[in-house]
Structure formats: structure tokens, C-alpha cells
């Protein structure tokens, strides 16, 4: 069943996490909160339909906290009231981590470019988008390359995530040449791709992110409450 975007946006805007002040980042753009809520609703419905990407995101734990973010964040998730007992719970846990990661990496701005304080300036290593991913991660999980191909040229959820966000010319700049440039551009202009890509990568290569390694991506009870309310609306 198609997601009722207006209903989900209303839930997101009324949620406590919409006014939460993230550590060292402040309040999220409202577009980020409502965009993540809709993305979660869509992937939750995809999981029920047996979609392979959603199923992979919600797969059983690897039992390897050097690779799987759910193993690594197990205790933090529990403190926020999130379990990992079934596929729906694991999907919710991944999205709870994603919400915190996006604030840490881009302050919730879909268009964020590379970290100018770093030396990652090649097409393969330049990070981009909500979760600051780079093209050199694309072989970490077999579904990542097909996902890139599937969303090429699309801008799913861009207008939702763009609400309250200003994107400068320097943010939109892409670095290098070749497929990595296309990857940077897509990650910034198609937030749905960025969400799915990061969700898959978190389950297999959590060390791609310093804030994850240091457990700086916040997972809060307010995040859990938002996702629960969205799930109840479906």
C-alpha cells in the first residue's frame, strides 16, 4: 500500500525529535526529520513485500561487531528501547542509527559535499550526501552496485528532504572524474538512494564512519518514538 506522505509528515513535524537539539549540531532541518520518516515508512512497506534491499537491511545480525552496526550498537539501542528480535525491529534499529548518523555527518543536509578539512579529493574517496559516503565503499555488499544503477538519474524524496535546507555551490561541487563523480551527485540529489545505500553499508562496513566507530551517532528514545508512531500509521 502506498505511504500516505502527508500523514507521515504530520507525525514527523509533531514529534519530539523534530525539536531535539543534537549534540554539537543543534536542531535538524524539518526536511530531514520528515524525509527520514517517509523513507522509513517506504522501506518498512518494502520489507513486508519481500523487497531484497529492505530484507538485507533487516537481516539477522552477523554476530560481528567489527562489521555490523547492529552488533556494535546493541547496548545503545537497548537503552533507547529498541530490540533486535525480528526483521521489523532490526529495520527500525538501523533507521534509528541513521537518523543520528545523518545529523553527525551532514547536520541533516542532503546536499552536503566532502569534508573540506580532509584530504579526500578523488572521485573514489570524496564523501558526499546525508551520511558522507564515498564510492570506494560500493563493493562492500553485493546489492550496493545494483542499487546505484537503479537510482541513477532519479531524485526520490528530494523535495521532502530539501525543506528548510540551503545548499551552497560549494556543497554541490563534485570531485574527480568517472563513476565516483556520478556517485557523489546522486547521493546528494537522491536522498532515498543515500538512505538505502547507507543502511546497507552500515550492516556490512560500519567502520566506514568515524562517528559510528566512536559511537557518536546518537540514538534516542525520541527517535524510537517517531519510528514507532510512523509504523503505527501504516
From 16, 79, 15, select the one nearest 219 (Cα to Cα): 79
At 119 the pLDDT is 73
At 222 the pLDDT is 98
- Give the range of the structural domain holding residue 153, as residue numbers without chain letter: 5-233
At 114 the pLDDT is 86
CA dihedral sign, ordered 204, 205, 209, 214 = positive
* Distance separating alpha carbons of residues 228 and 224, to the nearest angstrom: 6
At 128 the pLDDT is 96
Which residue numbers in the chain have pLDDT < 70?
A: none
At 115 the pLDDT is 77
At 116 the pLDDT is 73
Count of domains in the chain?
1
Q: For 87-120, how does the pLDDT look when each residue is reduced to its tens digit (9 = 90+)? A: 999 999 999 999 999 999 999 999 999 877 777 7
At 111 the pLDDT is 97
At 79 the pLDDT is 97
Amino acid at each position: 500500500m502506498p505511504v500516505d506522505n502527508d500523514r507521515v509528515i504530520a507525525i514527523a513535524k509533531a514529534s519530539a525529535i523534530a525539536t531535539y537539539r543534537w549534540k554539537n549540531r543543534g536542531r535538524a532541518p524539518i526536511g530531514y526529520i520528515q524525509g527520514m520518516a517517509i523513507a522509513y515508512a517506504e522501506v518498512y512497506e518494502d520489507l513486508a513485500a519481500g523487497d531484497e534491499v529492505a530484507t538485507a537491511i533487516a537481516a539477522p545480525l552477523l554476530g560481528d561487531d567489527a562489521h555490523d552496526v547492529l552488533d556494535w550498537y546493541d547496548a545503545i539501542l537497548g537503552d533507547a528501547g529498541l530490540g533486535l528480535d525480528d526483521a521489523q525491529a532490526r529495520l527500525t534499529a538501523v533507521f534509528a542509527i541513521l537518523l543520528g548518523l545523518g545529523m553527525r555527518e551532514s547536520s541533516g543536509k542532503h546536499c552536503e559535499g566532502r569534508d573540506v578539512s580532509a584530504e579526500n579529493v578523488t572521485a573514489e574517496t570524496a564523501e558526499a550526501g546525508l551520511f558522507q559516503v564515498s564510492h570506494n565503499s560500493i563493493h562492500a555488499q553485493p546489492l550496493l552496485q545494483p542499487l546505484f544503477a537503479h537510482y541513477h538519474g532519479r531524485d526520490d524524496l528530494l523535495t521532502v528532504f530539501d525543506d528548510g535546507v540551503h545548499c551552497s555551490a560549494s556543497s554541490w561541487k563534485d570531485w574527480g572524474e568517472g563513476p565516483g563523480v556520478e556517485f557523489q551527485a546522486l547521493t546528494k540529489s537522491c536522498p532515498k538512494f543515500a538512505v538505502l545505500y547507507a543502511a546497507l553499508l552500515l550492516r556490512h562496513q560500519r567502520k566506514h564512519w568515524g562517528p559510528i566507530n566512536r559511537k557518536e551517532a546518537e540514538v534516542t528514545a525520541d527517535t524510537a518514538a517517531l519510528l514507532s508512531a510512523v509504523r503505527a500509521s501504516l
